[in-house]
Structure 1
Amino acid sequence: MATIVESSEVSTLLDELTRMTGREDPYPRYRRLREISPIVRADDGALVITRHADCLAVSRDSRLGHIPSHMLDFVSPGWPDHPALKQLFTSILALNPPDHTRLRRLVNSSFTARRVQALGPRIAAMVDELLDRMSGEVDFVEAFAFPLPATVIGELLGIPEPDRAQFQGLVRDWTQVLETHAPEALAVADPAAVTIREYLAALVAERRRQPADDLISALVAAEEDGDKLTEDELLTMAGLLFIAGFETTTNLLANSVVALLHHPAQLALLREDPGLAPAATEELLRYDTPAQLLVRVAWDDVEVAGVPVSGGERIVAYLGAGNRDPERFAEPDRLELARADNAPLSFGGGIHYCLGAPLARLEAQIALPALVKRFPKLDFAGVPGRRDSLAIRGYTNLPIVAA
């Protein structure tokens, strides 16, 4: 049986991933970690895995889960006093069965595949409207990658159009807690969480008085065997759906455009064959995924990546590394839109598989072919601004020539 590797090189590589210089292109560091060992130990005690098979197994293993509620005070002392952490730790992002199972069942009854697929024609119309407004040098994030998913999830939830723009900065502030619980991050994230929750509380109250054909109204009415969402659960769920509904897709769209511009032959292939969009979306998710990692805790003594792991130990699965594993993907550092047998890790797996995955895929499948077809001279207009985050990988701005 193998052993967990600890070394100064491992510490250096993992430390580099906490810095902007390492986050700009983490993939060489992932590759080196994978070469050293399937599983290594970080300085904080967490176990880090980088192989595709191991990441997939961890995402599906019922013996692993999120940090149990009774351990949260050891991880983040005083977390209930921080609105951003309370929003995170009481959401399905951080809950375990049976609480997770119950909430997932209730939201699934409202956030259905049919409701998502019905958005297809409206998404196509939104894409055309946004492309019509783009000309010359524009910031792709501001002009397209943010407003498209924000409009889609806003319409799905029932958030009025004039209110949506304010949420880009608020969500970016809140999602800092996915990376760190440091005081300086909480000082930014907590006010954002309060503002988002207060807005949603007013909207939920309005929908209780006057239901509409939207997801907020459906969540208010959701019931399964006499069980309903409490007010706290409803607000937390609505906030999570809104945050996840555009944050991941904004980054997927921006990451995809950068990847395509760096691979002009692949961009031309998509332009010539829009039917390639479903396969292209999977490859772009694999090549530079917005969600780079997931964290689990071992409930009991188990085996992970071929080594014994004690109960209570944290496992960090680098999904971005698994998506570049040569044991799973031939020439993994090459973008190949028509890649066969492509199953990226980007939306996780098992009971925690991303609720919004079908919506994010649908938006990308419609948007990317339309974008490259509309602008045959699409190109960079400047240096993109990389978001200073590893857990969520994306861009703060992306200057392009829309021509």
Structure 2
Amino acid sequence: MDSATLLARITDYASRPDPYPLYAELRAAGPVVRQADESYLIGTYHEIAALLHDPRMSADPRTRGKVTRKPPFLRLDDPEHHRLRTLAMRPFGPPHSPGRVEAMRGEIDRIIEELLESFEAGQQIDVVDDFAYPLPVTVICRLLGVPREDEPLFRAWSDTLVAAADVRPGQDTAEADKAGEQARVEMGGYLVGLAEQRRGGPDEDLLSAFVNEPDPTLRLTQEELAETAILLLIAGHETTVNLITNGVLTLLRLPEHLDQLRREPGLMPQAVEELLRYEPPVHMRERFPHAEVDIAGTTLPEGASVILALASGSRDPMRFHEPDRFDPTRPDNQHLGFGSGIHLCFGGPLARIEAQAALGALMPHLAAARLVQDPPPYRQNAMLRGPRHLAVQL
């Protein structure tokens, strides 16, 4: 087939269950493949990594002059991106220290235990709706300091935001966008109000840390506080749901590795890293050159749409030995599951801890479980790829 149609074929919903043969076709076509819509598609590891670290590559869609609204900070460039990311990350603790996220392990274990209490042998469950979806929403609520009685309200807003980002064919996109924007405004107002209640009386939660920052030059504005908290929800939620669900699907398809992890639970951190490489939650990211950029013999024009196929890069045989084989003991696993460079996924550390705890706790329940439908139905979104439902017979 024509390599100029690769992006259209990869993003076609029919390819959602298994896009990996198309990624192999992409890598064979060349490091950089121009598409029919004049975008540039890149699927090889070293070229993707180089561009993720290239300061000439912008994450800001306003670079192309087609978007006027200021995007969240994960779509901004330095120095503005660096300032907001630094402010948002400060409450988590210094780099390489346990920090607030690590301190959440006990609370995460308790939330998981509560979710698993209803699981019984012989029961059919939906891994997404019954486990992988409610877990990160509840964790984010506890991390931010949302009162328990308000968690259902927070979940309703989250449902609306997720639905707005995963519109089905034939669905009214304008209506979904309007509902998503309304949920964003309401959630932002709620979080700002909650943070103001914590001013002067700091607690251990993130909102208290944001609003009681002692250095006035480092404080978030109300708008920045709301956007950062909402971004934490989205970044820490979407990645985690897909990571856990893809993990369960992979292990039920590969029972020998499920047995291996039951025998050797200490391998779980490595197994999660391998899942981030083998079945990542984030498949693609878009960038825009500030100026002409030469890469692998191709010149990327200023302002062009450049699609970095992270999931393809993480299966590049020029970087990984036997890349299509799942190996929970894989050494030197520098995958692209959470991106790289200055826009390394904001929710990554939290997603890793949640996935390790969740999959570890699920192991006894999966010992004699089976998939009810394989492949399962997938979400519409090709960039944040994961099953919409995953029916499992315990």
The verdict on a shared fold, with TM-score over 0.5 as the criterion, is yes
In structure 2, distance between residues paired with 1:394 and 1:381: 17
Aligned 8 A contact 2:166 2:379 in 1: no
User: How many residue pairs were aligned?
Assistant: 381
1:400 maps to amino acid = V
Q: CA RMSD in A?
A: 2.2
Q: Which moved more, 1:233-242 or 1:274-283?
A: 233-242
Q: Partner of 1:292 in structure 2?
A: 283
Instruction: Report 1:2-401 matches (<5 A).
Output: 9-67=2-60, 69=62, 71-72=64-65, 74=66, 76=67, 80=69, 89-112=70-93, 113-135=98-120, 136-160=123-147, 161-176=151-166, 184-211=172-199, 212-222=203-213, 224=215, 226-383=217-374, 384-401=376-393
In structure 2, distance between residues paired with 1:245 and 1:159: 16
In structure 2, distance between residues paired with 1:338 and 1:40: 33
In structure 1, distance between residues paired with 2:54 and 2:362: 39
In structure 2, distance between residues paired with 1:249 and 1:295: 21
Q: Which 5+ residue runs of structure 1 have no aligned equivalent?
A: 1-7, 81-88
Instruction: Give 1:210 deviation, angstroms.
Output: 3.5
2:299 maps to amino acid = P
Instruction: Give 1:343 deviation, angstroms.
Output: 1.4
Aligned 8 A contact 2:35 2:41 in 1: yes
**1:217–1:303 Cα change, 3 Å:** same
Sequence identity percentage: 37
Aligned 8 A contact 1:49 1:317 in 2: yes
3-state DSSP class of the match of 1:21? helix
In structure 2, distance between residues paired with 1:23 and 1:222: 44
Q: Which moved more, 1:26-35 or 1:93-102?
A: 93-102
Instruction: Give 1:70 deviation, angstroms.
Output: 5.8
**1:222–1:304 Cα change, 3 Å:** farther
Aligned 8 A contact 1:55 1:322 in 2: yes
Instruction: Give 1:38 deviation, angstroms.
Output: 0.9
**1:167–1:248 Cα change, 3 Å:** farther
Instruction: Give 1:303 deviation, angstroms.
Output: 1.4
Structure 1: which 4+ aligned runs deviate by more than 6 Å?
none
Q: Which moved more, 1:314-323 or 1:204-213?
A: 204-213
Instruction: Give 1:224 deviation, angstroms.
Output: 4.6
**1:253–1:68 Cα change, 3 Å:** closer
In structure 2, distance between residues paired with 1:269 and 1:224: 50
Instruction: Give 1:128 deviation, angstroms.
Output: 1.9
1:127 maps to amino acid = I
**1:225–1:202 Cα change, 3 Å:** closer
Q: Which 5+ residue runs of structure 2 have no aligned equivalent?
A: none
Aligned 8 A contact 2:60 2:71 in 1: no
1:143 maps to amino acid = D
Aligned 8 A contact 2:9 2:15 in 1: yes
1:66 maps to amino acid = A
